[in-house]
Structure 1
Amino acid sequence: MKAILNVIWLVLSGFWLAIGYAAAGIICCLLIVTIPWGIASFRIAGYALWPFGRTVVDRPGAGGWSVLGNIIWIVVAGWWLALGHVVTAIPLFVSIIGIPLGIANLKMIPISLLPLGKDIVSTDTRYPTYQPS
């Protein structure tokens, strides 16, 4: 079922959301100082392509720098990406088959606003733990 939802997601909204995250990542990496946000944006772009079967967990040890970085991210790019999730969720809710996709889209808003200090892990593990990549 996850694979079917992921394919439908990819066609209806995942591809476009991933392009938005990748564009934000490229811009952040070009500015050198904002490379940590670029890396987080690329990580979320992969999640936006194939979200079903994965979840977001807090990264242990993420401290004050993540909080400061997330505040900067919200001002610069986070609210645009969150708005993209809302805009793509609305048409998905119109059809019956799109309702689970719209819900998944809205569930991605927190990581689009606060990407630092988070990890994306498989839901197959009962208790997701931090695995440094």
Structure 2
Amino acid sequence: MGCLGNLLWFIFGGFLSGLSWAFAGCLWSITIIGIPIGVQCFKLAGLCFFPFGKEVTYGGGAGSFLLNLVWLLVSGFWLALESAVIGVLLCITIIGIPFGLQQFKLAKLALMPFGTTVY
């Protein structure tokens, strides 16, 4: 079921979300200082392409908090807004509710991507 869910997800919103994360990763990777943030963006782009069957746990310390603060001000708000809007649009229909819930999970992840672990 996870494989079918991931395939449908990729078609109905996952491709757009993953491309947004990959684009943010490319922009962050332009500078040497932003490369670690860009690498995290590329990891999360993979999660955005195929999120079903994966679990996200949040943690981290002071360094993660500071990176999340910079991230939120520069890129995170817009990625979270995109995921929230797509999630609301998907939740209009009963069939789209599981996909909308995944988008809401990605919106939360877009606000705090550092210090997270994906299983």
TM-score bracket, normalised by the shorter chain, equals: over 0.9
Q: 2: distance between equivalents of 1:16 and 1:93?
A: 17
Taking only aligned residues, the RMSD between alpha carbons, in angstroms, comes to 1.1
Q: 2: distance between equivalents of 1:94 and 1:57?
A: 28
- Aligned pair count reads 119
TM-score calculated relative to the size of structure 2:
0.94
Moved over 3 A (4+): none
Secondary structure of residue in 1 paired with 2:52: coil
1:87 maps to which of 77, 85, 88? 85
Bigger proportion of residues as helix = 2
Identical residues among aligned pairs (%): 35
Secondary structure of residue in 1 paired with 2:29: helix
Q: 2: distance between equivalents of 1:18 and 1:39?
A: 14
Secondary structure of residue in 2 paired with 1:9: helix
Q: Which amino acid aligns with 2:76?
A: G
Question: 1:58: how far off?
Answer: 3.3
Structure 2: runs of 5+ lacking an equivalent: none
Q: 1: distance between equivalents of 2:64 and 2:101?
A: 27
Q: Which amino acid aligns with 2:88?
A: I
Aligned to 2:100: 102
TM-score calculated relative to the size of structure 1:
0.85
Structure 1: runs of 5+ lacking an equivalent: 122-133
Question: 1:49: how far off?
Answer: 0.5
1:81-129 CA distance string (max 9 Å, x none): 00010121122112221111001110112211111111111xxxxxxxx
Q: Which amino acid aligns with 2:53?
A: G
Higher CA-based Rg: 1
